[in-house]
């Protein structure tokens, strides 16, 4: 049994996971000279939901194999469901999607009892319903109470910070822990869905330790997250124009090297407790810059050298040698 080390806590993975991978261009960066990705929003949502379906199906099958005497996998078998969260509405739709999966897997003689009023959706197929508003609305309504109890507590950070990409799932786990007491967490079984565009996804579960003693790792973990909301409230606030100016600075200096990038006075000074922030680059070929505030080194940023707009590869059929030329 593996142990996930989360500041020393005992969050144990029972060893079951369902993974899914697919080669798809839903969200990617074909142009490395740009800071921004290329996104197909509709395709990205379809990829996310189809990966969720596939992972839940595999995970459920493994649960049935390992625990044949237990009830079939469903939303009711877990105490919490935490998702990778591009935006919070998609998380709520994801829980509803799992509810729809459970509905389709429900024995025919139990459908009217467990899902009253939803019988008309029985003939629907998963692959035909990614953008079916009637299915989405019906199962979001049916799973509302489950969402409030099993998933919404994990959205504290996501609702205030937005999409953190890779850490968003673990921000959800931290949020879930921060909204519970040690006593409430002990022994809980938590399902997590991890997702990355391109795509790769995994659903797995954690079982939280029963050790709730005053010196237990779980107790220390919960205590360390009790001020999470205060930390969020202590964030530095800037106006929309200042934010736009900061984003423009990032765009203008993307891939820049070997010159002074920027000097920004005013608000930034209060962040670092100094009157100004100055960014100075090191000589080529380091492609690095030092961020200095008030005479103190804050961090070092690394810039990639300019990338070619295209690469042309030719193959000599006689010698079988490849030659690559780059156009900037």
Distances (CA, A) of 318 to 189, 288, 309, 322, 323: 63, 43, 29, 11, 13
Residues sharing a CB contact under 8 Å with residue 141, sequence separation 6 or more, in sequence order: none
Q: Cβ distance 55 to 202 under 8 Å?
A: yes
In the chain, what is the greatest distance between 2 CA atoms, to the nearest angstrom?
Answer: 75
Distances (CA, A) of 78 to 64, 65, 176: 14, 17, 14
Question: Among this protein's residues, is 220 annotated catalytic?
Answer: no
Distances (CA, A) of 270 to 50, 232, 243, 266: 46, 18, 15, 7
Binding residues for CoA: 44, 89, 93
Binding residues: 44, 89, 93
Q: Cβ distance 50 to 127 under 8 Å?
A: yes
Closest to 60 measured CA to CA, from 75, 49, 73 = 73
Q: How far apart are CA 158 and CA 110, in angstroms?
A: 36
182: its two tokens: 């040690």
Which of 84, 254, 264, 320 is catalytic? The answer is 84
Supply the angle between the helices 88-105 and 41-66 in degrees, to the nearest 10. Answer: 50
For residue 232, count other CB atoms closer than 10 A to its CB: 13
Q: How far apart are CA 285 and CA 305, in angstroms?
A: 8
Q: Cβ distance 205 to 217 under 8 Å?
A: no
For the chain, the C-alpha Rg in angstroms (whole number) is: 25
Just list the catalytic residues: 84
């Amino acid at each position: 049994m593996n142990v996930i080390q989360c500041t020393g806590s005992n969050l144990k993975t029972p060893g079951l996971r369902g993974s899914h991978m697919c080669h798809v261009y839903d969200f990617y960066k074909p142009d490395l000279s740009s800071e921004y990705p290329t996104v197909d929003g509709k395709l990205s949502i379809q990829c996310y939901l189809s990966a969720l379906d596939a992972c839940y199906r595999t995970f459920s099958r493994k649960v049935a194999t390992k625990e044949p005497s237990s009830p079939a996998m469903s939303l009711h078998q877990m105490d919490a469901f935490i998702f990778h969260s591009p935006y919070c509405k998609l998380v709520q739709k994801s829980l509803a999607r799992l509810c729809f999966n459970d509905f389709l897997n429900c024995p025919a003689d139990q459908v009217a009892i467990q899902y009253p009023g939803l019988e008309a959706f029985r003939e629907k197929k998963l692959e035909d319903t990614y953008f079916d508003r009637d299915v989405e609305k019906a199962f979001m309504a049916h799973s509302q109470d489950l969402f409030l109890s099993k998933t919404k507590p994990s959205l504290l950070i996501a609702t205030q910070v937005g999409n953190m990409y890779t850490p968003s799932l673990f921000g959800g786990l931290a949020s879930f822990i921060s909204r519970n007491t040690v006593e409430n967490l002990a022994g809980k079984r938590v399902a997590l869905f991890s997702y990355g565009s391109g795509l790769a996804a995994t659903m797995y579960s954690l079982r939280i330790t029963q050790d709730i003693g005053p010196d237990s790792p779980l107790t220390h973990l919960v205590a360390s997250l009790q001020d999470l909301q205060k930390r969020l409230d202590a964030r530095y606030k800037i106006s929309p124009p200042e934010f736009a100016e900061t984003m423009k600075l990032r765009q203008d200096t993307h891939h820049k090297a070997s010159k002074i990038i920027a000097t920004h006075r005013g608000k930034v000074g209060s962040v670092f407790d100094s009157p100004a922030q100055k960014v100075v680059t090191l000589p080529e070929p380091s492609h690095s810059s030092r961020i200095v505030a008030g005479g103190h080194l804050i961090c070092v940023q690394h810039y990639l050298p300019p990338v070619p707009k295209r690469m042309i590869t030719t193959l000599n059929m006689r010698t079988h040698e490849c030659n690559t030329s780059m156009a900037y």
